[in-house]
């Protein structure tokens, strides 16, 4: 569950409680410190005034003889200024003019105003036992329930106290002030100076300060958390998000994606490594794609070749089996007739024709296959000689005229004189020209066939144009016509290797062959070129 939370939230989940605890501790510590400081301040003040009173009392006690003795007469009269009265007067004045309450108290008090309260009784009893000189601090509540800080300073009997509080010379001896002497000895506890300071003010100060501190605490905690968030965001979240986005983009196929972080920290390093990796992936992927593409192409080519192979087998099997079937049936029927003793001249002629035609057909097929195979393996020896191509073409046209005339076709020729010689194998080129002209006759039923020859650049261009069945395949596939066994229409008689042989022969002469047609029944134009080679070059070629 926690692992699914975003990084920033996670970090804040850790940082925020720590911040709150730390700020809380600091806050408490400051409050405590402040409280203790204020308390010290108050107690210090209380001590000062108590000590002051103690000193005044000691002074008054010390000067009693001087105060009460008439310097002129030497008579001693109590003037009403003993430590107890002076102390009471100062305490009263002090209490009335400040918010401090000061009084003199004793377990064995003479003035009822000095009667001790609960706290004072407890402390006085403690001093009585311990005889400790150190003042005691404490806290209690006044009658209204307000908290007070208490300070109590013990007063022990000293030499000068004895004249009023010492041992009576006789039972019921009164001192100068008119009270019975209690019979104290030096060092015994007589009473204490008690100061009570209200804690209300202190509490109010602490409360205000705490509030201010609390506000400062909350504000600074929030600020620190927010600042931390901003820092995390700027230095961790943003670069991390960029990297994550880039990773996702690359995973989704955008291999050109890079991380744009230029800081010198770990994220900068990460971005740099990431970009290097992405670059590498991109290059490798491109390579892989290229390889895959090449493989696909090769595969496609192989499939194409496979199909070509299948077609070749199919066509060759047809070209062999079909005549064989006719021969078999013809022979069977003929021999049946002979057995039955029937003699039918028409039938015999028919059988004779079928048998002759099919033997010729089989022979042609087999010869074509053998010829092409030998051509492709380079076994054909070309016997090159320099000759006028025009003469060669004219001879072929002459021999084909009869065939054309049978179909009612005319052959028109445009053959300029004085064309340069070409260096070719006479038999091979004759075969090419014959094949092209015979094809034109074979695939044309009416009209004329144009044969022309002309010089073009550094070669001669031969052309046969017919008005026949044309070519029913797109221009870009025309080259297939020159593939072995390719037949545009499978039902057309023939082996489909004539054009392939033409191509092989022409290529061996440095020439090329191609065809143009505007479509089905729009005629075809076959052209080939042969390079003109001068005598010198010819010698080099031959050698």
Q: Are 113 and 207 in contact (CB under 8 A)?
A: no
Q: Which residue, 317 or 374, has its beta carbon nearer to another protein?
A: 317
Full 3-state SS string of 139-202: EEECCCCCEEEEEEEEEECCHHHHHHHCCCCCCCCECCCCCECCCCCCCCEEEEEEEEEECHHH
| CA 259/CA 393 separation, integer angstroms | 73
Q: Which residue, 327 or 515, has its beta carbon nearer to another protein?
A: 327
The minimum distance between CB 473 and another protein, in angstroms, equals 16
The minimum distance between CB 436 and another protein, in angstroms, equals 23
Q: Which residue, 273 or 317, has its beta carbon nearer to another protein?
A: 317
Angle formed by the axes of helices 7-62 and 83-97, to 10°? 140
Q: Which residue, 82 or 444, has its beta carbon nearer to another protein?
A: 444
151: Cβ contacts below 8 Å, ≥ 6 apart:
43, 46, 47, 50, 135, 136, 137, 194, 195, 196, 197
Structure tokens given for 417:
């004189």
Q: Which residue, 231 or 331, has its beta carbon nearer to another protein?
A: 331
Q: Which residue, 16 or 473, has its beta carbon nearer to another protein?
A: 473
Angle formed by the axes of helices 426-442 and 498-508, to 10°? 150
The minimum distance between CB 319 and another protein, in angstroms, equals 8
Q: How many CA atoms within 13 Å lie on the side-chain side of 116? A: 21
Q: Which residue, 213 or 316, has its beta carbon nearer to another protein?
A: 316
Q: Which residue, 305 or 324, has its beta carbon nearer to another protein?
A: 324
Q: Which residue, 309 or 328, has its beta carbon nearer to another protein?
A: 328
The minimum distance between CB 394 and another protein, in angstroms, equals 35
The minimum distance between CB 341 and another protein, in angstroms, equals 15
Structure tokens given for 370:
């053998």
| CA 436/CA 464 separation, integer angstroms | 7
| CA 438/CA 453 separation, integer angstroms | 17
The minimum distance between CB 471 and another protein, in angstroms, equals 16
The minimum distance between CB 306 and another protein, in angstroms, equals 15
SS3 137: strand
- Chain residues binding another protein by CB under 8 A are 314, 317-318, 320-322, 324-330, 332-333, 336, 347, 350, 354, 357-358, 489-492
SS3 37: helix
Instruction: Give me the residue label for tokens 């031969």.
Output: 462
Q: Which residue, 279 or 492, has its beta carbon nearer to another protein?
A: 492
Number of CB atoms found within 10 A of residue 224's CB: 15
SS3 448: strand
Structure tokens given for 130:
């311990």
The minimum distance between CB 252 and another protein, in angstroms, equals 43
Structure tokens given for 43:
């107690």
Residue 404's nearest CA partner among 427, 434, 360, 429 is 434
The minimum distance between CB 357 and another protein, in angstroms, equals 7
The minimum distance between CB 418 and another protein, in angstroms, equals 45
Q: Which residue, 351 or 462, has its beta carbon nearer to another protein?
A: 351
| CA 10/CA 423 separation, integer angstroms | 89
The minimum distance between CB 344 and another protein, in angstroms, equals 10
| CA 520/CA 472 separation, integer angstroms | 5
| CA 442/CA 88 separation, integer angstroms | 156
| CA 408/CA 391 separation, integer angstroms | 25
| CA 382/CA 424 separation, integer angstroms | 8
The minimum distance between CB 339 and another protein, in angstroms, equals 13
Q: Which residue, 127 or 443, has its beta carbon nearer to another protein?
A: 443
Q: Are 191 and 105 in contact (CB under 8 A)?
A: yes
The minimum distance between CB 435 and another protein, in angstroms, equals 22
Q: Which residue, 334 or 514, has its beta carbon nearer to another protein?
A: 334
Torsion sign, CA atoms 63, 186, 80, 96 = positive
372: Cβ contacts below 8 Å, ≥ 6 apart:
484, 497, 500, 501, 504
The minimum distance between CB 353 and another protein, in angstroms, equals 8
Q: Which residue, 287 or 310, has its beta carbon nearer to another protein?
A: 310
Q: Are 446 and 409 in contact (CB under 8 A)?
A: yes
Which residues make beta-bridge pairs with 150? Answer: 138, 196
């Amino acid at each position: 569950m926690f692992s699914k939370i975003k990084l920033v939230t996670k970090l804040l989940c850790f940082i925020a409680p720590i911040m709150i605890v730390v700020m809380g501790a600091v806050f408490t510590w400051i409050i405590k410190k402040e409280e203790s400081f204020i308390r010290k301040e108050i107690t210090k003040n209380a001590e000062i005034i108590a000590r002051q009173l103690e000193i005044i009392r000691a002074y008054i006690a010390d000067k009693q003889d001087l105060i009460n003795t008439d310097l002129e007469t030497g008579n001693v009269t109590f003037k009403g200024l003993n430590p107890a009265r002076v102390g009471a007067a100062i305490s009263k004045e002090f209490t009335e003019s400040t918010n401090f309450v000061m009084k003199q108290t004793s377990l064995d008090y003479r003035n009822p105003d000095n009667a001790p309260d609960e706290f004072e009784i407890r402390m006085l009893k403690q001093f009585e036992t311990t005889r400790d000189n150190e003042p005691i601090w404490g806290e209690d509540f006044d009658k209204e329930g307000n908290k007070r800080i208490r300070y109590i300073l013990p007063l022990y009997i000293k030499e000068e106290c004895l004249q009023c509080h010492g041992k009576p010379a006789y039972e019921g001896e009164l001192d100068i002030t008119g009270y019975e002497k209690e019979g104290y000895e030096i060092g015994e506890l007589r009473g204490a100076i008690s100061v009570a300071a209200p804690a209300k003010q202190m509490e109010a100060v602490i409360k205000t300060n705490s509030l201010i501190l609390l506000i400062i605490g909350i504000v600074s905690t929030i600020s620190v958390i927010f600042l931390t968030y901003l820092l995390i965001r700027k230095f961790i979240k943003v670069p991390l998000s960029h990297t994550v986005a880039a990773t996702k983009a690359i995973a989704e196929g955008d291999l050109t994606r890079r991380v744009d972080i230029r800081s010198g920290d770990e994220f900068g390093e990460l971005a740099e490594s990431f970009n290097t990796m992405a670059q590498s992936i991109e290059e490798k992927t491109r390579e892989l794609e290229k390889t895959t593409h090449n493989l696909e192409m090769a595969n496609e080519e192989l499939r194409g070749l496979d199909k070509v192979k299948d077609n070749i087998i199919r066509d060759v099997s047809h070209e062999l089996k079909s005549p064989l079937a006719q021969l078999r049936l013809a022979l069977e029927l003929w021999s049946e007739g002979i057995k039955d003793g029937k003699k039918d001249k028409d039938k015999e002629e028919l059988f004779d024709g079928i048998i002759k035609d099919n033997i010729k057909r089989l022979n042609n097929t087999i010869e074509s296959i053998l010829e092409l195979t030998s051509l492709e393996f380079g076994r054909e020896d070309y016997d090159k000689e320099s000759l006028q191509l025009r003469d060669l073409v004219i001879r072929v046209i002459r021999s084909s005229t009869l065939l054309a005339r049978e179909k009612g076709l005319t052959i028109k020729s445009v053959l300029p004189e004085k064309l340069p010689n070409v260096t070719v194998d006479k038999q091979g080129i004759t075969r090419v020209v014959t094949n092209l002209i015979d094809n034109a006759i074979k695939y044309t039923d009416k009209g004329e066939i144009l044969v022309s020859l002309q010089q073009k650049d550094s070669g001669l261009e031969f052309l046969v144009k017919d008005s026949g069945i044309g070519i029913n395949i797109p221009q870009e596939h025309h080259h297939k016509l020159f593939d072995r066994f390719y037949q545009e229409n499978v039902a057309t008689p023939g082996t489909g290797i004539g054009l392939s042989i033409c191509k092989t022969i022409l290529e061996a002469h440095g020439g090329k062959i191609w065809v143009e047609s505007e479509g089905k029944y729009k005629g075809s134009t076959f052209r080939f070129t042969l390079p003109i080679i001068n005598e010198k070059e010819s010698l080099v070629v031959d050698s």
